[in-house]
Chain A
Amino acid sequence: MSKHHIEMTINGRRHSGDVEARVSLSDFLRDDAGYTGVHVGCEHGVCGACTVIVDGKAVRSCLMLAVQAEGAQVTTVEGLAASDGTLHPVQQVLLEEHGLQCGFCTPGFVMTLAALTDGDAKPSEQQLVSALSGNVCRCTGYQGIRRAAKRLACNEAGENS
């Protein structure tokens, strides 16, 4: 099968590779680029574990081909924390709220929440929870995740609560 040369920026670093057209972005990120924090739970777009941010938007990397990400800015869960190790607010809140158990689904929840709360976005709790209904967690019963979403949401005054 013929290979395609692609280049993209992953977590602020340029990365290039030669891939078959059929290789998913998730496989490329895991196997070629070494970002194994991208978890693959279903490979058919339901579980959300593979969520990464591509050009500012949350994307299921199992449903996107690596060649489609040519030239894109990609952020994986490895790229969220500051270089001194300070956790991203989403990671910090999930830690404080016991939002994870096995941690397999976690990168997907983190990236979905990060994509929605970064920058000027001011989502409500309801918006966050309905976005998270596209991510499956088999362990937690979603209790800590819901608490985290509540804290990350904007309250009525437009402030992060």
Chain B
Amino acid sequence: MTAPEMGTGMGTGIGTGRYIGQRVRRKEDPRLLTGRGQFVDDISLPGMLHCAFTRSQIARGKILAIKTDVARDVPGVHAIYTQQDIAHYKADLLSFFLAAPDVEMTPLANGRVAYVGEPIALIIADNRHIAEDAASLVEVDYADEDPVVTLADAARGLPVHPGTDNNIAAQMGEEEIDEELAAKLKSAPHLITHKVVHQRISQSPMETRGVVVTRDGTEELTLYITCQSPHLVARWLSLSLGLPETAIRVIAKDVGGGFGLKNHPWKEELAVIVAALKFGRPLKWIEDRYENLVGANQAREQEMTLQVAFDNDGKLIASHGDYSVNIGACPQLPECNIAVHMFVWAAYKMPAYGFLTRGWYTNTVGYAAYRGPWAMETLIRETVLDIAARRIGIDPIEIRRRNLVTLKDQPTMTCMEIPLEDITPAECLEKLLAHFDVAAFRKQQEAARKEGRYLGLGVAAYIEPTGAAGSIATMTGELAQVQIEPTGKVTAIMSTHSQGHGTATTMAQIFADRLGVRYEDVTVFEGDSSRGGFSPGAAGSRQGVIAGGAAIMAGDLLAAKVKQLAAHLAEASVDAIRIEDGMVHVEGSPEKSRTLRQIAEIAYGEPDRLPPGFEPGLEAKYRYQPPPMTFASAANACVVEVDTDTGFVKILRWISSEDCGTPINPSVVEGQIAGGLAQAIGMVLLEEMSFDDRGNPLAATYKDYMLPLISDVPTFEFLHANTPSKSVGGMRGVGEGGAIIGTPTLVNAIADALAPFGEVPVDLPLTPAKLLSVIEGRDLVSPTVAPEAPVVVAVAPLVSAAPVVQAAPAPANEILIDGDWKMVLSTPVGPQEMTGHFETDGTALSGYLAAAEGQQAFTGVVENGNNLLFDLKVEKPLKITLKYNLTVEGNRISGKCKMGIFGSAKLTGHKL
């Protein structure tokens, strides 16, 4: 692919420049290499005290008593708080979408505990040692109950949250497979049913969670917190605490990795913040690794069954997916992960797809994001394609070639109605194959097998939505502010945030290029909510795409300003001005060259010399709103050898062929991919957070939870496609891809190596014992692993077996539909509150639905006296028709809203 033209317009890449596209050294590194970084535990404030938590030792039960007297008497202890002590503060555990939870959640346990490690009491002491001593002396009496631990338990067991009917936290799609789809699946020449079990993962940033908080009078609250966006934390906290008039300042200069865990505060941080409000002294809490493995939110733990129908040529006919995720007791998102279904076939020509997707509450620590939260879609699709290839007898690469959407096929629409314009997974795959000789490998593989050595090749392709903005409250555009100081140096203030992303480097590269200054002369400040504007920071592979676009736009505005002033001073035309290396040149008049500093001094200090109407100073800002969605694409290959005596996997080679659009800094791009690939290797071979049947976590140290080490990760080879996207600058995002595509690439390689022994069940991690079970044809996996359970999740009844007391339906003649109703729709982005206004005239229905975003009128019908049927058409985020089917019983209303391809959402409400 050729380098795009220089240009600033929408949809043009900026390719390479003097700095953009170059492997410049990172601005962050000198301080981090010399121990001068500033992480949250490096902060000390005068008068600061330290916190520790007493945590639940059981997974589920009632708290009978919390005895704190002995702990309180430990010298150096200042206070011990339980939920009762802080209950008068508003402190809501909001989701990433800023929605209040559907179930009761409090910073400290409120009368019940719902997972091992749940914080019960907070101790404030002179130092952490004393706080921990006291925490261990707090005595808690429980009435122990049987916990719901696994997905299978969740479908059968009593609700985790009192007052709920069942453990389904969120659900979308259809419980019954659509008849037409079922027929297509059944009548196809080949139907493959593939189940994937993904273990639970600890995000494990090397820096654990932590916060230092100080209340400075009633007006100010300052927080140092390890996070992924100071702005998001400030916004989240303002809403959580209900303190709109308090100036909340959040500072996070250096952060030791986030990976989704640190999007916003959770129970512990919120408890410490509230405790600081109450106690009135600065408080610090730094999570230790035991707490992090036991008490910090975790990710994945999913099961999915995918049915895929193929014709005799290996072409896709239809598919159905059934997905479940264990989201624990207090998840950061009441998630059912609709994105899995949106993207499972997005890069492939799939004519028909249906799904059921659910998130389940259990008595385990709650769910949070982890790099590529929807990655199951690529894992299950790319592994089923290899299984199908083996079954149908075609080459795994060929089956992809026949089904992938190529550039020639676009524009087109996916089976989930996502428009595609320029995805390139097929092109990434061809590029990969040009670099890796598959035929030669197959020969080598055959020869090795004769010697009893088992080599395997895994290939996978994918696309990834990046740079999303505009469909979710927290996912916004980005603001860039840049100024040329009177000294001639460039300072930019960005709302990007680096937990290793190197945004102070990549943004500086952009400014240096766009302004014509040296990279060394640009400083980018970030990591402080009191500067810049709102942005969710590092989330959804968005910073390069959106902040990069904002930086280009702001840089160009400022360059135009410099040129305007320079032209005025030189009495030349703007077109004759060139800025290079911090010098401002006038075409044809070398004697009129000025330094940027000279121009800046005039701009700030000599208003009389400015052109008419020129705003003094050299400052510009721009908030960039990108296209709603951008896509990155990739194809990967890896070669492994599986030792059939030990079950150990050795990775021999790994090639990444990716298209992240314009790479601002290829070293940063490769760093992001490599980090994700290493995490994928961890997911496939090493990492596992599991629980015993009482809900006790089985990994509480890094001896039990095994992270990939340098000896586990091979040297990666990189191929870059660099097809500019439609966003300004042409970036496509690169943050999560490695963790998404790496997993199936490695699983496929292992399955290919062991194909002579049979299929390898995709039940992660693929430990030596599991692989030896395949090799030896007998179950060698320890008995603690549950026997193959029926896929109960797919058929679980919606309501629990417990009888539900319901008010007798009001007699028909008393049904009063007309009037206003308060209703809540459970959508994938959290509960949406609205008011419904209904008017009836016989069986004719009219009215409107009103929410914070506005109101929309509808007409419909009333059937059977109390059944309201009406449609609403919406344009955002996609054009869909919402079909409401509601039933009025007395002053209660309930029913469903069918949301096109998103399936159905539950609605409940009452008369106002």
Contact = CB atoms under 8 A, between A and B. Distances in A.
Contact of B206 (A47, A76, A146): A47
A142 B671 contact: no
Nearest to A92: B33
B33 A146 contact: no
B47 to A, nearest CB: 16
Interface string A81-114: 1000001000100111010111111110010000
B715 interface: yes
Contacts of A25: none
Contact of A104 (B34, B206, B701, B709): B206
A58 interface: no
A102 B674 contact: no
A87 B29 CA distance: 11
A56 interface: no
A106 B707 contact: no
B702 A102 contact: no
Contacts of B34: 37, 77-78, 80-81, 87, 91
A161 B721 CA distance: 32
B28 A103 contact: yes
A46 B205 contact: no
A133 B259 CA distance: 22
Given A36-B39, A87-B30, A103-B37, 13 more contacts: A40-B41, A44-B703, A46-B701, A46-B702, A80-B34, A98-B671, A101-B501, A103-B254, A104-B39, A134-B709, A140-B500, A141-B675, A143-B713
A66 interface: no
Contacts of B255: 102
Interface in B680-711: 701-703, 707, 709-711
B551 to A, nearest CB: 20
Contacts of A87: 30, 33-34
A146 B129 CA distance: 37
Contacts of B668: 98
Contacts of A44: 289, 701-703
A105 B37 CA distance: 12
A102 B501 CA distance: 7
A141 B500 contact: no
A41, A91, A130: which has the most chain B beta carbons within 10 Å?
Answer: A41
A21 B23 CA distance: 48
A82 B29 CA distance: 16
Contacts of A42: 289, 701-702
Interface string B474-495: 0000000000000000000000
A18 interface: no
A136 interface: yes
Given A49-B206, A101-B671, A104-B256, A36 B709 contact: no
Contact of B129 (A22, A35, A40): A22
A142 B710 contact: yes
A41 B705 CA distance: 14
A132 interface: yes
Given A136-B702, A138-B206, A76 B35 contact: yes
A145 interface: yes
Main SS class of interface, A: loop
A131 to B, nearest CB: 10
A44 B709 CA distance: 16
Given A46-B702, A98-B671, A104-B256, A41 B710 contact: no
A139 B675 contact: yes
B33 A102 contact: no
B637 interface: no
Main SS class of interface, B: loop
A100 B256 CA distance: 11
A43 B129 CA distance: 13
Nearest to B286: A40
A80 B36 CA distance: 12
Nearest to A107: B35
Contacts of A47: 206, 289, 702
Interface in A11-59: 20, 22-23, 30, 35-44, 46-47, 49
The 10 closest A-B pairs by CB, nearest first: A37-B35, A104-B256, A103-B32, A101-B500, A141-B674, A102-B500, A141-B678, A46-B702, A77-B35, A36-B42
Interface string B486-515: 000000000000111110000000000000
B33 A95 contact: yes
Contacts of B23: 98
A137 B204 CA distance: 10
Nearest to A23: B129
Nearest to B26: A98
A65 interface: no
A121 B668 CA distance: 32
A92 to B, nearest CB: 8
Given A22-B129, A44-B702, A101 B502 contact: yes
Given A42-B289, A101-B500, A136 B675 contact: no
A89 B678 CA distance: 27
Contacts of B667: 98, 144
Nearest to A128: B710
B807 to A, nearest CB: 53
B581 interface: no
A41 B256 CA distance: 10
12 contacts: A36-B35, A41-B289, A46-B701, A80-B34, A81-B34, A96-B25, A102-B256, A104-B37, A141-B678, A143-B670, A143-B716, A145-B710
A36 to B, nearest CB: 4
B446 interface: no
Contacts of B42: 36
Contacts of A100: 29, 32-33, 500
A129 interface: yes
B396 interface: no
Contacts of A77: 33-35
Contact of A37 (B26, B36, B501): B36
B30 A95 contact: yes
A143 B715 contact: yes
B417 interface: no
B398 interface: no
A78 B35 contact: yes
A20, A94, A136, A145: which has the most chain B beta carbons within 10 Å?
Answer: A136
B163 to A, nearest CB: 39
A95 B207 contact: no
B671 A140 contact: yes
Interface in B173-198: none
Interface string B236-258: 00000000000000000011110
Contacts of B776: none
A159 B799 CA distance: 73
Contacts of B29: 94-95, 100, 103
A40 B35 CA distance: 13
Contacts of A130: 711
A20 B129 contact: yes
A143 B35 contact: no
Contacts of A104: 37, 39, 205-207, 254, 256-257
B678 A39 contact: no
Nearest to B678: A141
A41, A81, A132, A142: which has the most chain B beta carbons within 10 Å?
Answer: A142
Interface in B731-769: 738
Given A44-B289, A102-B206, A107-B35, A141 B713 contact: yes
B675 A140 contact: yes
Nearest to A97: B667
B710 A144 contact: no
B703 A46 contact: yes
Contacts of B102: none
Contacts of A139: 206, 257, 500, 671, 675
A23 B207 CA distance: 20
A146 B30 CA distance: 19
A137 B710 CA distance: 8
A110 B207 contact: no
B672 to A, nearest CB: 8
Given A78-B34, A102-B256, A104-B206, A133 B671 contact: no
